[in-house]
Amino acid sequence: MGKKTILVTGGSGFLGSFLCERLLEKGNSVICVDNFYTGAKRNIFHLMDNKNFELVRHDVTFPLYIQCDAIFNLACPASPIHYQRDPVQTVKTCVHGAINMLGLAKRLRVPILQASTSEVYGDPAVHPQVESYWGNVNPIGVRSCYDEGKRCAETLFSCYRMQCGMNTKIVRIFNTYGPRMHPNDGRVVSNFVLQALRNKDITIYGDGSQTRSFCYCTDLIEGLIRMMDTPPEVSGPVNIGNPGEFTIRELAELAIELTSSRSKIIYKPLPSDDPKQRKPDISKAKELLSWQPTIPLREGLQKTIAYFDNLLKEDPEFCE
């Protein structure tokens, strides 16, 4: 991408803030649109003085009229606790948000990228997950507001492409972690790291044999930018994630080891529809984007631990 004005929805969230930062570093101007549902000003505070950065408080479920050269659509709560807090709003953000941003991209004739998710595969019967797999999703379960919302957003992206000839791109993001995750979002990495740092019980849901594949945030951002840079005929979906697969129990043990914690592991009930396994097949990302992750879990966890350790000292109230 040359020097452009780029709209990032959800730009004050965990991933959005890293994306804004990276796009600015590359010499672009960035318009960050966010309603602060789960995002935080502290994530983008360091960008506020940058003359090429602009923050717009706006809910993407309402139309937006703005000038830009490309759109990254990341606005959507991503952790199960957050997206289940107001499921109707989650569906609206996924669906109305996609329609509004696609409408904007259509009017401006600019490329638009959708931050989709491995959740479109549901509790997958195919392992590792390839993009051609259609998934196994409960349409009426507790996760469906997010899973089906994101699936409908993918449908909208492909309909606009087929019907209007637009340059749309879909990336399916697998579990991504790192600094700036919200301390209370209940995701497994932030939960385990904070519990370990405070020597509190580590809460494994179920027996801990379920697996996830964890991608470090900066690797993920590189994948998103490379996807946006592809020619118009490349639309995806493309999986972006780290194929290193770990059980949740292994993750708990690693968090304890890396923090030299006195925490004990305890077991709690598994939430319903919790996927048993997840691992991306990233052949497509390798082939189309020459992309693969560079930061292994141990290294990424160390950076994440350093961030939360500092946050606990700097702003303990934010972590309550």
Provide, rounded to whole angstroms, the least separation between the CB of residue 26 and ligand NAD. 19
| Stretch in the footprint of ligand NAD (CB under 6 A) among 133-141, 157-165, 173-181, 248-256 | 173-181
Provide, rounded to whole angstroms, the least separation between the CB of residue 262 and ligand NAD. 29
Q: Which residues pair with 56 in a beta bridge?
A: 33
Q: What is the footprint of ligand NAD within residues 85-114 (CB under 6 A)?
A: 93, 97
Q: Which is nearer to ligand NAD, 172 or 261 (CB)?
A: 172
Q: What is the footprint of ligand NAD within residues 16-45 (CB under 6 A)?
A: 16, 34-39
Say if strands 211-213 and 112-117 run parallel, antiparallel, or are unpaired. Answer: unpaired
Q: Which is nearer to ligand NAD, 115 or 137 (CB)?
A: 115
Provide, rounded to whole angstroms, the least separation between the CB of residue 219 and ligand NAD. 12
12's contact among ligand UDP, ligand NAD, none, with CB below 5 to 8 A by partner kind, is: ligand NAD
CA distance 286 to 289: 6
Supply the angle between the helices 188-197 and 248-259 in degrees, to the nearest 10. Answer: 30
Provide, rounded to whole angstroms, the least separation between the CB of residue 225 and ligand UDP. 24
35's contact among ligand NAD, ligand UDP, none, with CB below 5 to 8 A by partner kind, is: ligand NAD
CA distance 116 to 229: 17
Selected binder of ligand NAD within 175, 190, 210, 218 (CB under 6 A): 175
Q: What angle do CA 233, 27, 97 make, to 5 degrees?
A: 55
- DSSP H helices in the chain: 14-25, 41-44, 80-85, 87-108, 144-164, 188-197, 217-228, 248-259, 283-289, 297-314
205's contact among ligand UDP, ligand NAD, none, with CB below 5 to 8 A by partner kind, is: ligand UDP
| Stretch in the footprint of ligand NAD (CB under 6 A) among 20-28, 71-79, 160-168, 224-232 | 71-79
Give CA separation, 66 vs 80, 100, 258, 299, in Å: 31, 12, 46, 40
CA distance 100 to 115: 15
Catalytic residues: 146
* Surface-to-core class of residue 188, CB atoms within 10 Å of its CB (0-12 exposed, 13-18 middle, 19+ buried): buried
Selected binder of ligand NAD within 7, 10, 121, 161 (CB under 6 A): 10
CA distance 242 to 104: 32
Q: Which is nearer to ligand UDP, 244 or 271 (CB)?
A: 271
Selected binder of ligand NAD within 6, 13, 98, 210 (CB under 6 A): 13
Per the structure block, which two tokens stand in for 177?
């972690």
Cα 314 versus chain centre, distance: 25
222's contact among ligand NAD, ligand UDP, none, with CB below 5 to 8 A by partner kind, is: none
Binding site for ligand UDP (CB under 6 A): 79-80, 175, 186-188, 191, 203-205, 210, 212, 248, 270-271, 274
10's contact among ligand UDP, ligand NAD, none, with CB below 5 to 8 A by partner kind, is: ligand NAD
Q: Which is nearer to ligand NAD, 32 or 197 (CB)?
A: 32
Give CA separation, 255 vs 78, 148, 153, 244, in Å: 22, 32, 35, 16
Torsion angle of the four alpha carbons 250, 222, 171, 4, in this order, in degrees rounded to the nearest 10: 150
Provide, rounded to whole angstroms, the least separation between the CB of residue 78 and ligand NAD. 3
Interaction of residue 183 with ligand NAD, rule CB under 6 A: no
